Amino acid sequence: MSDSGASSVFEGPNSHIGRSLSRASARRTVAGRGRYTDDITLPRTVHAAFVRSPYAHARILKIDTADAEAMPGVVLVMTGAELAERSTGPWIGTLSCFEGMKSAPQYAMAVDRACWQGEPVVMVVAERRALAEDACEQIVIDWEVISPTAEAETALDAGTPVLHPDLGDNLAFTKTIDRGTVDDAFASADIVLEESFSFGRHTAVSLEPRALLADYDPGTERLTIHTSNQVPHMIQAVFARTLGVPEHNVRVIAPDVGGSFGLKIHTFGDEVAATAASIELGRPVKFIADRLESFVSDIHAREHQISARIAVSKAGDIQALEIDDLAGVGAYSAYPRTSVFEANQVLNITAGPYKFENYRAKTTVVYLNKVPTSQYRSVGHPIGISVGEHMVDRAAETLGMDPVEFRRRNVMPDDAYPGVAPSGVPVNDLSHEACLEKLIGLMDYEGLLREQAALRKQGVYRGIGIAGFIKGTAPGPQGYYGSGGAPIASQDACTVKLEPSGGVICTVGVTDQGQGVDTVMGQIAATALGIPLDQIRVIEGDTDAVPYGGGTYASRATAIGGEAVYQASCDLRREILTMAGILLQSDAETLDIVGGNVVTAGSGEIRVPLSEIGRIGHFQLGELPNDYQPTLSATRRFRLTELPYIFTNGIHGAYVEVDTDTGFLRLLKHWVVEDCGRLINPNLADEQVRGGCVQGLGGALYEHCLYDENAQLLNGSMADYLTPMAAEMPDIEVAHVETPTSESELGAKGAGESGTGAAPGVVMCAVNNALRPFGAAVTAQPMTPEVVLRTLGKI
Amino acid sequence: MKAPKMTYARADSVAQALALLAEHGDGANVLAGGQSLMPTLNMRLSKPDLLIDINRLEDLAGISVEDDAVRIGALTRHAAVQRSPIVAEHLPLIAEAMPHVAHVAVRNRGTFGGSIALADPAAELPACILALGATITVESVRGRRDIAAADFFKGLFETERQPDELLIEIRIPCQRPGTVHAFMELSRRQGDFAIAGVACAAETDGETVTDAKLVYFASEDRPTLAANAVAAIAGKVWSDESRSAAMAALSEDLDPMDNLQGSAAFKLHLQRVLTGRVLDQAIERARAA
Ligand SMILES: Cc1cc2nc3c(=O)[nH]c(=O)nc-3n(C[C@H](O)[C@H](O)[C@H](O)COP(=O)(O)OP(=O)(O)OC[C@H]3O[C@@H](n4cnc5c(N)ncnc54)[C@H](O)[C@@H]3O)c2cc1C
């Protein structure tokens, strides 16, 4: 619980909380001194490349590797069947928390059948990557093509091929949330509005692709895996179990990571295969996914179709909402996090800001012969927020009410917590009202309305969008990965140690992917300990060095890992003060630590520097009483106890211009008001929001994995798959409301993903606001010019 | 994504490059700025036996005015063309198109001749030189020859240049007084290849377009002159009716194909919109002149 004592620490003169420090790694990486997985080359390293299935669905009749094996420089050729013999068994990507969910056993590489275009089939390991690619071209596979299942709409039809006959049908999962009396509410509603939506598939496109360097040492029987990853301990557990190496003999190191966005929390067969090769060869094996294979092997996301209806009263109150979601995941449910979390989140968060009780949400998740989908930044939120906010706008429009006025009337009041969202998920410490009012001021809503009206007379169509949201961050143990059966920690931990020099080593289970997690952890530790930042070194991303933890995903690093750092640092501070009290023959209560020195509380008079405590504590223990043995280190863990998630909230505003002749959109301006609880580093939080928005805008406008009827990916390169670029992005103004979470003393909530969650919805609202004079509404993402023109009936 | 094995030769003279081309013909690829060639090599979409690097052939780079025409050497970088005062003065159409050709980094390496030799159907420069009636000079050990732009572009990435010929220079007539230019394209993102585009060089008399070259790119397999659209407006005072007539006639000039960038109907629609806009701008400029 937040108490005044803790708050004062954060606001005091010693505090680094709320300070916009730049990322510890910024200067180094900009100077080209980053050290990514591919920058590490060990002696005797060899390189893996893969033959991937050219078909979405095909049986493997015969594989001829003879020519490839005979090529100079080739050290190993391994088929899927051979890899299966070296593995403990296939994965099954289900979790017990998803009742009734099913998925077929999946091998790291296809054994007798490939189920998506791009599935790895044969691995070649050679002295150089180019040689491995040459050898891949010499491998001959006899295929028998099987008709693929390419469309979610027909995946459950009787005539559609069943991907995995043992499952009986193509259904992965279905779930319905039904709260209140939905049917009655619709039957007696004043107004009922319906709409259908579609959301295209897209993928993460991290700047640094997936990368792994596995190094098995037969002498020590230790396996070291350097990998561009967010979750070292999960990789340790999954790879150890799959390849039969004791977990404690596996060390996973995540060096600098060049973007990850959820992509790098999953298990990928090619990475397991390369690791198996290292064990087989007893030498380091490197695998760097190239851009082309990334498109057909990185997890994809989204691909949902939703029909929705909303009931509202004439007075302007939401009475009920119903959504029916169909999600097309890939050929297998991703292991170990599954491919159904996204659909589950859509059900949880749709219309999350609003205070109505009749809510029904159903999802049907089906398998397709496509790249497996799974968690990608802001899982499910872009979909749920787009749907919910569009329906709210339609209701307001039908009633002739201003969309802001409608939201004012319907959002959960700021004094209503703890409470539940319409889906029933518990929410606490939210601030929809405060955020809405702040946004209206920030964007000068009235001024925009005037400008919009004036320009319309000149044939210029601008639209104003508003989209509020709730965002699930920092999941706890309840009904989550770990309790669902996956080797994924929902707690995170920190060990802080005082070194003889007076410096502090802070090791954390959460990881940094360039967002500045290490900087933030340092700020928290420095604040709690009362020492200057440059006296702290934060170590992350090495299972040999850091305490066990879940890693960084689901906007959990600061909310979960940060609290562990705070608690551990408070413990160490108490120990230092106790020891200082003994040395100074003073009551520890009368002492404080300021600027790296033990001082007299209140007056600030310097009593002893921490270097002295460190020196005595490590080298001169004889100066201490015999019955006193300081450890000068502390380890603390943190997990949520009350809530399944720390839900955050916020609201976006967007101003766009639609060229109604060409269908092209111009994003003129974007505003965000975010409540991520206590702000540790405002600048880094803002940058997370901005980067997140850009990623969301990518999905809303550009990014789309286009498949043909044979489930072939048509645009798997950077020439054809459009990512958002700076020139098209609007200026993004970010402001904050700070409502600390009552789950922790630090009070920080997650902030990494919400930009991605709400940006697509707010731009959709803005576009439709612009198109209102035409009586048209775009409900398909990405909102390409062609989609806009079709909506307008111009083509 | 590693290029296949091949032999690399750095030409020190045009003669040497021509000799290598004569010897290897189809099996050789000329490497200019490499901005288009290197990706195709790395993706193993093309596997030449020999790469002939012409980047040291300084003679092939440069911009000058000769006999009412601007001569642009094949190896002139896009960035140099964009910065050239000669181009700004005499070829304002090209000056206006240049910022649409890729991004700064690509323009620093990519060459004018490379764009012409490549003949990407969505590229700006082939359309511009066709609109301006340029002449392309190629050379082989068999000799030099000039090819009119109208004869040069043969199809998708296909040109009149023979495998043993090196593209030497492009000569483009200077814009004459009394003519106006306009250039427009639509691309999804700044610097992308266009999904619709038009280069316009028009002769006007007051509010009347007397003659024009309207060259469309990103629709057909090569830059395409729109004779019917021009016929619909030639000699008429520019008006809402002639705008509509030009837009309507365009379907007789263009027959775009569905592809990843959009459906045929979408692309034709965009070209129609650009037709109206580009001619509006041409007339506007004629008025201002
Ligand atoms: C991200 C990106 C975006 C781009 N966007 C655009 C765009 O919007 N518009 C556009 O027009 N282009 C675009 N390009 C292509 C760019 O303009 C290229 O530079 C140009 O098309 C080719 O020029 P180059 O000098 O790089 O040629 P190279 O890549 O070296 O060669 C291209 C082809 O031309 C041949 N060739 C080159 N020079 C000669 C010569 N002198 N004689 C005979 N054959 C020759 C080569 O053998 C090869 O087949 C883009 C490229 C990239 C990477």
Q: Kindly report the nearest CA distance between residue B216 and chain A, in angstroms.
A: 16
- CA distance to partner chain B, nearest, from residue A692 (Å): 19
Is the confidence at residue A8, as pLDDT, over 80? no
- Beginning with the edge strand found earlier in the chain, give each strand of the sheet holding B224-225 in spatial order: B179-186, B196-205, B208-217, B224-225
Asked if B213 contacts B225 with a C-beta cutoff of 8 angstroms, the reply is yes
Closest C-alpha residue for ligand 1 atom 39: B114
pLDDT in tens, A67-86: 999 999 999 999 999 999 99
Nearest Cβ partner for A795 among B3, B4, B266 = B266
- Closest chain B residue to A663, measured at CA: B270
Q: Is the confidence at residue A410, as pLDDT, over 50? A: yes
Are the beta carbons of B43 and A133 separated by less than 8 Å?
Answer: no
Instruction: Spell out which residues of chain A touch residue B43, defining contact as CB-CB under 8 Å.
Output: 292, 717
CA nearest A715 in B: which residue?
B260
pLDDT tens column, A157-170 = 999 999 999 999 99
Q: Given ligand 1 and candidates B26, B37, B52, which is best to mutate, with the most ligand atoms within 8 Å of its CB?
A: B37
* Residue A599 β-bridge partners: A592, A606
* Domains of chain B with bracketed CATH: 7-53 (3.30.43.10), 58-173 (3.30.465.10), 179-288 (3.30.390.50)
B195, B186 in Cβ contact below 8 A? yes
Whether residues A789 and B266 touch (CB distance < 8 A) is answered with yes
Residue minimizing CA distance to atom 27 of ligand 1: B114
Nearest CA in chain A to B270: A662
Taking CA atoms, what residue in B is nearest to A707?
A: B260
Rounded distance, CA A461 to CA A453, Å? 9
Interface of chain B toward chain A, CB-CB under 8 angstroms: 1-5, 39, 43-44, 186, 188-192, 260, 262-263, 265-266, 269-270, 273
Q: What is the ipTM of this complex?
A: 0.97
Mean pLDDT of A457-470: 98
Cβ contacts below 8 Å, chain A against chain B, sum to 57
pLDDT level of residue A176 (50, 70, 90 thresholds) = very high
A6 pLDDT above the threshold of 70: no
Residue in B50, B115, B157 to alter for ligand 1 test, most ligand atoms within 8 A of Cβ? B115
Looking at the domain covering A302-477+642-791, what would its CATH class be? alpha beta
Please indicate whether, in this complex, the C-beta atoms of A661 and B39 are within 8 angstroms of each other. no
Closest Cα in chain B, distance from residue A159 (Å): 29
Spacing, Cα A135 to ligand 1 middle (Å): 30
Can you give the pLDDT at residue A752? 87
Put residue A585 in one of left, alpha, beta given phi > 0 → left and psi -120 to 50 → alpha: left
Mean pLDDT, rounded, for A356-371: 98
Burial of A706 (0-12, 13-18, 19+ CB in 10 A): middle
- On the question of pLDDT at A4 being above 50, the answer is no
Regions of chain B with pLDDT less than 70: none
Per DSSP, the residues of A419-475 read EE-TTS-EE-S--HHHHHHHHHHHHTHHHHHHHHHHHHHTT-EEEEEEEEEEEEES-
Quote the pLDDT of residue A5.
Answer: 52
Q: What is the mean pLDDT of residues A614-631?
A: 96
- For residue A336, pLDDT beyond 50: yes
Assign a CATH topology to domain A37-146+207-297.
Answer: Aldehyde Oxidoreductase; domain 3 (3.90.1170)
d(CA A706, CA A295): 11
Helix axes A381-399, A754-771, angle to 10 degrees: 30
Cα of B273 vs centre of ligand 1, distance in Å, is 28
Check whether A13 has a pLDDT greater than 80: no
Asked if residue A691 has pLDDT above 70, the reply is yes
Mutation site for A-interface testing, chosen from B38, B103, B266, B277 by largest number of A Cβ within 10 Å: B266
Q: Which pLDDT score is estimated for B255?
A: 97
The distance in angstroms from the start CA to the end CA of chain A is: 59
pLDDT at residue A3 greater than cutoff 50: no
Chain-chain contact of A727 with B190 (C-beta, under 8 angstroms):
yes
pLDDT band of residue A300 (cuts 50, 70, 90) is: very high
Helix (H, G, I), strand (E, B) or coil at A754: helix
Using one digit for the tens of pLDDT, what is the confidence trace for B218-268? 999 999 999 999 999 999 999 999 999 999 999 999 999 999 999 999 999
What DSSP string describes chain B?
--PPP-EEEE-SSHHHHHHHHHHHGGGEEEESS-TTHHHHHHTTS---SEEEE-TT-GGG--EEEETTEEEEETT-BHHHHHH-HHHHHH-HHHHHHGGGSS-HHHHHH-BHHHHHHHT-TT-HHHHHHHHTT-EEEEEETTEEEEEEHHHHEEETTEES--TT-EEEEEEEEPPPTTEEEEEEEE-SSTTSPPSEEEEEEEEEETTEEEEEEEEEESSSSS-EE-HHHHHHHTTSBP-HHHHHHHHHHHHHH-----BTTB-HHHHHHHHHHHHHHHHHHHHHHHHH-
Please give the number of the atom of ligand 1 that sits closest to the Cα of B191.
Answer: 8
Phi, psi of A307 (to 5 degrees): -110, 145
Contact A74, A68 (CB under 8 A): yes
Residues near A188 by beta carbon (within 8 Å), at least 6 away in sequence: none
Using a CB-CB cut-off of 8 Å, the residues of chain A touching B5 are 130, 134
Instruction: Search chain B and give the residue with CA nearest A132.
Output: B2
Two tokens, residue A661: 């002749």
Q: Is the pLDDT of residue A129 over 70?
A: yes
Distance between CA atoms of A342 and A334, rounded to whole angstroms? 12
Computed over every residue of chain A, the mean pLDDT equals 96
User: Taking CB atoms and an 8 Å cutoff, what residues of chain A touch B188?
Assistant: 702, 722, 784-785
| Domain coordinates in residue numbering, chain A | 4-34+491-638, 37-146+207-297, 302-477+642-791
Would A4-34+491-638 and A302-477+642-791 be classified into the same CATH topology? yes
Contact B189 A795 (CB under 8 A): no
Which atom of ligand 1 has the smallest separation from the CA of B187?
Answer: 8
Q: Are the Cβ atoms of A719 and B39 closer than 8 angstroms?
A: yes
pLDDT digits (tens, 9 = 90+) for A255-293: 999 999 999 999 999 999 999 999 999 999 999 999 999
CA distance A134 to chain B (A): 7
Ligand 1 pocket at CB < 6 A: B 29-37, 54, 74, 101-102, 106, 110-111, 113-115, 117-118, 120, 123-125, 166-167, 191-193
Would you say residue A684 has pLDDT above 60? yes
- Cis ω before A782 (30° cut-off from 0): yes
The Cα B33–Cα B54 span in angstroms is 9
- When pLDDT is averaged across residues A736-746 and rounded to a whole number, the result is 97
The whole-number pLDDT of residue A441 equals 98
Work out the pLDDT band at A311, boundaries 50, 70, 90.
very high
- A73 close to B (CB below 8 A): no
pLDDT confidence of A1, banded at 50, 70, 90? very low
User: pTM (2 decimals)?
Assistant: 0.97
Rounded to the nearest angstrom, the minimum Cα separation between B47 and chain A is 12
CA of B172 to the centre of ligand 1 (A): 19
Q: What percent of chain A shows pLDDT beyond 70?
A: 99
Q: Are strands A285-288 and A46-52 parallel, antiparallel or unpaired?
A: parallel
What CATH number does domain A4-34+491-638 carry, 3.40.50.1100, 1.10.287.110, 3.30.300.30, 3.30.365.10? 3.30.365.10
- Nearest ligand 1 atom, CA B74: 41
For residue B29, the ligand 1 atom closest to its alpha carbon is: 47
Helices then strands (H, E): number in chain A? 21, 29
Burial of A458 (0-12, 13-18, 19+ CB in 10 A): exposed
| Token code pair at residue A515 | 């967002």
* Chain A interface test: which of B188, B275, B280 (most A C-beta within 10 Å): B188
Is the Cα dihedral A22, A28, A29, A31 positive or negative?
A: positive
Cross-strand partners of A287: A212
Residues of B in contact with A297 (CB under 8 A): none
- Chosen from A786, A787, A792 to mutate, greatest number of chain B CBs within 10 A: A786
